[in-house]
């Protein structure tokens, strides 16, 4: 009988010790270093698809803050990484926007002066590609002028910060499954 009375009082004691130990473990696990929270980056092109923040990057210039006639070293300094391909009159950069979309920018130079920019945007989703194309058209229409349509190619007649004329052509080369957009920036010769 005496052992039954001891067991009767021991059960709540074990239960309380177990609850205290569990609570201690939980509190210790939660009291570690606070997680560093990085605030979301403010979108540069508000009201447009988020991909434009990667593809165009800046409102200055045409693409990545670059304008035609800039020297090779100036263009390289505006890019965030080393070129994937580099020659005396050419450099190429490849970037990834997200799991669906990537793009490349090829810069061509004549006498160390940027003569042409070619951007190719590839998306594994045709819908995503169509959305990006529509947003690029909308942005350049608001920044420069409405494009003319020439044989399925959108052609923008533009002026740079030095008031020199240049053109942007946008071509939709998408398939039924993938989005492919080609953009060419050049001066008429």
Residue 31: what pLDDT? 47
Mean pLDDT by 10 residues, the chain (189 residues): 51 56 50 47 84 90 93 94 95 95 97 96 96 96 93 91 90 95 92
Q: Which domain holds residue 154?
A: 51-186
The answer to whether 182 and 171 have CB atoms below 8 angstroms apart is: yes
Residue 152: what pLDDT? 87
Cα gap 91→108, rounded to integer Å: 7
Within a domain: residue 177? Answer: yes
What single DSSP character describes residue 90?
E
Within a domain: residue 45? Answer: no
Within a domain: residue 40? Answer: no
**pTM, entire model:** 0.76
Residue 33: what pLDDT? 47
Of the candidates 163, 118, 127, which has an alpha carbon nearest to the alpha carbon of residue 144? Answer: 163
Within a domain: residue 5? Answer: no
Of the candidates 126, 161, 129, which has an alpha carbon nearest to the alpha carbon of residue 144? Answer: 161
The answer to whether 184 and 117 have CB atoms below 8 angstroms apart is: yes
87-107 pLDDT, tens digit each: 999 999 999 999 999 999 999
């Amino acid at each position: 009988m005496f052992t039954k009375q001891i067991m009767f009082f021991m059960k709540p004691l074990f239960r309380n010790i177990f609850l205290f130990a569990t609570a201690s473990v939980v509190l210790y696990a939660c009291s570690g270093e606070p997680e560093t929270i990085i605030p979301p980056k403010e979108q540069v092109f508000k009201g447009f698809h988020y991909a434009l923040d990667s593809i165009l990057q800046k409102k200055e210039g045409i693409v990545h803050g670059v304008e035609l006639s800039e020297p090779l070293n100036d263009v390289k300094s505006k890019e965030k990484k080393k070129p994937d391909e580099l020659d005396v009159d050419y450099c190429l950069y490849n970037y990834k926007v997200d799991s669906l979309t990537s793009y490349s920018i090829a810069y061509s130079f004549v006498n160390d002066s940027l003569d042409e920019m070619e951007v190719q945007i590839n998306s594994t989703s045709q819908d995503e590609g169509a959305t990006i194309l529509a947003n690029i058209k909308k942005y350049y229409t608001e920044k420069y002028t409405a494009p003319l349509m020439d044989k399925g190619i959108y052609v923008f007649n533009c002026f740079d910060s030095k008031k020199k004329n240049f053109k942007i052509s946008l071509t939709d080369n998408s398939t039924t499954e993938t989005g492919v957009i080609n953009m060419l920036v050049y001066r008429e010769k």
